Each structure stands twice: as C-alpha cells, then as structure tokens.
Structure 1
Amino acid sequence: MAKTAFLGLGVMGFPMAGHLAAAGHQVTVFNRSPAKAEAWVGRHGGASAATPREAAQGADLVMCCVGNDDDLRQVCLGPDGAFAGMAQGAVFVDHTTVSAKVTEELAQAAAEAGIGYVDAPVSGGQAGAENGQLSIMCGGTVADFDRAAPVIDAYAKICRRMGDVGAGQMTKMCNQIAIAGLVQALSESLAFAQKAGLDVADVVEVISQGAAGSWQMVNRHATMHRGEFEHGFAVDWMRKDLAICLQAGDQLGAALPVTALVDQFYKDVQAMGGGRWDTSSLIARLTR
C-alpha cells in the first residue's frame, strides 16, 4: 500500500480520494476549504494538512484534481506548494484538465526537483468518480506511469499511458471534442422528437439499439427531456476545456468547426443562467 496525498476535494476529488482510502492506501488530503478536508477525514479516516506542502511530505504519490491552470500552479509551486514538500523520486499525478502549456511548465519544474510527473486527466464525470469507474488517460515516462497506475486503479475503469508528458492532456482534448458534438446532436434529436409529437422514451429505446446509440443517450435522455441538469460537470468547466481544445487546434493546424460552434452554444446556456448546469443542458437552448 502506498503513502499518498490528494489535493483538491471537489465533486471529483472527494470520492477519488475516498477510493484510495478504501483500497488501503495511507491518504493525507488538502483542500482550500479546510471544512471539506475535515469532512473527508470524518468519513474516510486518514489525515488532513493545512498546505499542499504538508500534505505531500513523505508521500510516494501526490494526486491532484483542482479547477484550472492557475489553481494547479498554486498547489504545486511556491514555498507551500506540493513540490516543496515532495521527496526526490516521488511522483506527482495531475488529474486536472489543464492546458498543454501548464503541463509542460510544471513537468519541467518537477524534473528539476527530481520529482516524477504524470498528467492523468479523467473522464466519467461525478458518477464515474463516485463509482470508481473513471477513464484515465496518462502522459509520462514508463517508469513513472508504472509506479502510479496500480494506485490509480482504485478509482479507474481503465488507466492507460498514451505517451510522454502531455499526451494525457491531448487525449482528454479528444474526449471533450467528441463529447461536445455528441451532446449537441443528441439535444437536437430529442428536441426534434418532442416537436414531432413522438414519445421520447420510445424513440430512445429504438434508436439507442442501433448506430445512434451512446452512453449519453442511454444515461441522460430522460433527464434532458425533463430539463434536469444536476449531474456534476458544469457548463462553466466545459467551456474552460473547450477553450483549451480550440487553442491547441489552432497551434496544431487541426480544424475544429463543430467544437467552436458548440462552444458558442454553451455560451448561450451560460447567458440563460446555466453556467452551473451540467453539459447535457445544451437541449435547453432548443426547448425553452
């Protein structure tokens, strides 16, 4: 069993850290809101720390799941950052979806400190985190990945090395690009069925068995039809991710016209007051 730290106890990090504890790993947690860290310890045991540096001291692996590039820099760098507390040879595992730029920057800082670095963004949403069924795409050296993967398995359905540092974030961009177009298409399909006077449940039962079927269709069609958008991953965060995708697309010369369009549709949802609605709320543009 590994000695670990987990930084960031949001809707994803809180259950992910819980799975580490349930698997028998020694876990110290840090959260910017100390009350959340205390609540986690009350539920799962382990310990909490006042700073990322204190949480990381003595840890074999330090996992992190925060909000964005700036949040990640804050927990990694500086006198109270995790890197300052990690011993040489320890491995930092970043589960945050961030830009390629900050991943390169922090991986370099880690290397200079003798620390391993694995970028390991996740897919599966809040339900995947709670059920320990996340898809985790990793970038890093083979040695660092091989050390991290058996511990990551506590909350993973699949955990795969995609290449060197940065490859995990690039793979996550592929994931978000695919989801954006899929959710918009599903929204249009369901809205069309409603306007045509069809029974939405019957439509989905039939078309989900063919080529149109998807996880989103099976798991979100009913709540989308009812206008319920409380499933965790918020529109605000999706727009942050899509901005990363579009920037990388420009740098790579990869055309992302559908992604750019759906990003603007999510902007419309934000203007409707839906910034904290989940990503399936694209249908609200078409039905409200």
Structure 2
Amino acid sequence: MEKIAFLGLGRMGLPMARRLAAAGHPLTVWNRSPGRADGLTEAASPAEAVRGADVVVTMLSDPAAVAEVAGRFTAELAPGTLWIDMSSIGPEATAALRARLPYGVGLVDAPVMGSVGPAAAGELLVLAGGEDADLERARPVLERLGRVRHCGGPGSGAALKTVAIGAIVASVAVVGEVLAAAGELGVSPELAREVLAAGPLAGVVARAHSTDSDFPVRLAAKDLALAGGGPVLSAAREVLLADPSIAEQDLSAVVDSLRRRRQANG
C-alpha cells in the first residue's frame, strides 16, 4: 500500500481521507485549520505531510488555495511521487500546477461529482485526467473514493468538471427562478415542481430540493466563474452572490432565496 499524504480536510476532504485510511493506506494529513484530523496522523505543515509520501492528494477550495498550499510543499516532492489534485480549480489552474512540477513527479487532475454523503460512502464520480501511466497508478487510490471516469490527457478531468458543475449550478438557479415566478402567474409552486419533476428536468428539480447535500453556494459561484464569462453562467453567478446570507448553505438554498427576494420586490 502506497504511503499517502492528504491535504485539505474540509467537508469533502475529511470523509475521503477516512476512506483511504480505512483501506489500509499509511496516511498523513494536513489542514489549514489544525485539529480536524479526527484521529488521523496530522502533520504540522504541508511540507512535513508530503515528505516521504508516494502519493499526495490535495482537496482544497479554489485555485488560490491550491496554488498557495502547493508553494509550501512542491519542493519536497521526490522523483516518482504522484500528485492527485481533486480540487475543483479548472483546466487553467491545473496547467499552472503541472508547469511547476519537479522532475519525475506526475500529476493527475481528478475532481469529483458528488457531495458529503457519497464522499463518506465511496460513491463519488471521479473525473480523472492525466498521462496514461499516472492514471493507472492513481486508479487504486481513486477507486477507494468512487467510480473513476478516465476523461483523457492532462487537464481533461478539470475541464469536464467545470462543464458539468456549471450546467448543474445554473440549472438549479433557473429552476429556483421559475418556481419563484409560479405564484405570480397563478400557478401553485407545488404543482409547478411536480410537473417539472415529471419531465427532463427531474434531476435538476431533485437537486434543487435536496436535503442531504452540502455544496456551499460560495463554492458553486466559484465553479461558475471557472467556466468563463458567458451570459447565462454569469447571470446565474450573480443570482448566487446576490444573497450573502446563504453563502455557506447548500446550493438548494438558492430556491428559497429567490422566492423571498421576489416576494420582497412585490
């Protein structure tokens, strides 16, 4: 079993790290805020965590966080180390990470689809991109976390995650908006939801009303920004950012937020 360093013990990272430890991997973890290791072996710094590791996994919040933490451990990566970045940072930031790799270090971009429940159960969809040899080496680790989808060469996993999450987040905002408009049009919101759920938007309606997901609105807005500045995604991002009170709540909170704002505006 390869020795793993896992950096980032947030909502998703901690249950993922627990699964790797439960599978028997020698594991050292690190988090910006100490004290979240929950019995796992915790390092005092990123450099200490990765020293001697065969595989390094990063699960951090955004491109700035990954770049900052990478600057604190990259020099410690020995030839033969494999770095798996599972953060949602987009292909541009992933390319920047690859450009700073020490000689002989491989990189797989492997962001995930799924929330905290699937992370704990090992039921994430892992979108993996990289060189073939690196992907094959990463597979036994990634399969502990969920179903692995080989997306292609370097950056392809990061790119596909940006596409997929952009579509989901914007669609949830659209469903929230039309449900908020239903009452003004004399349509029962419950009836509107029932009809929408019976058609091609069924999955989006279910996500918009999920009670067991934990994907903060602020991170959803970040993911929309990674997809570029198109008019629809930009508008959806403005909707998410318009209500700071829901920033740390799950994406589904945007539905009630839109309803309240529409009622307040008469």
Indicate whether the TM-score tops 0.5.
Answer: yes
Among 241, 244, 257, the alignment partner of 2:231 is 257
Deviation at 1:241, TM superposition (A): 1.5
Distance 2:25 2:123 in 1: 18
Among 253, 259, 265, the alignment partner of 1:287 is 259
Task: With the length of structure 2 as denominator, give the TM-score of the two structures.
Answer: 0.88
What does residue 221 of structure 1 align with? 209
Q: Does 1:159 align with 2:148?
A: yes
The 3 A distance-change label for structure 1 pair 221 and 192 is: farther
Deviation at 1:209, TM superposition (A): 4.0
Letter in 2 for 1:15: P
Q: Does 1:139 align with 2:137?
A: no
Gaps of 5+ in 2: 261-266
What does residue 12 of structure 1 align with? 12
Task: With the length of structure 1 as denominator, give the TM-score of the two structures.
Answer: 0.81
Distance 2:210 2:26 in 1: 40
The 3 A distance-change label for structure 1 pair 213 and 11 is: same
Distance 2:178 2:235 in 1: 17
What does residue 93 of structure 1 align with? 84
User: Percent same amino acid among aligned pairs?
Assistant: 35
Q: 1:208·1:218 contact (CA, 8 Å) conserved in 2?
A: yes
Distance 1:107 1:30 in 2: 22
Cα deviation digits, residues 229-269 of structure 1 (max 9, x gap): x842212112222111115xxxxxxxx32211111111212
3-state SS in 2 of match to 1:177: helix
Q: Does 1:246 align with 2:228?
A: yes
3-state SS in 2 of match to 1:11: coil
User: For this pair of structures, how many residues does the alignment match?
Assistant: 259
User: Residues 5-44 of structure 1: matches in 2 within 5 Å?
Assistant: 5-37=5-37, 40-41=38-39
Gaps of 5+ in 1: 224-229, 248-255
Q: 1:268·1:285 contact (CA, 8 Å) conserved in 2?
A: no
Q: Does 1:109 align with 2:100?
A: yes
3-state SS in 2 of match to 1:29: strand
Letter in 1 for 2:200: A
What does residue 226 of structure 1 align with? none
Distance 1:282 1:213 in 2: 17
Deviation at 1:15, TM superposition (A): 0.4
Letter in 1 for 2:214: G
RMSD: 2.2
Name the structure with the higher helix share: 1
What does residue 117 of structure 2 align with? 127
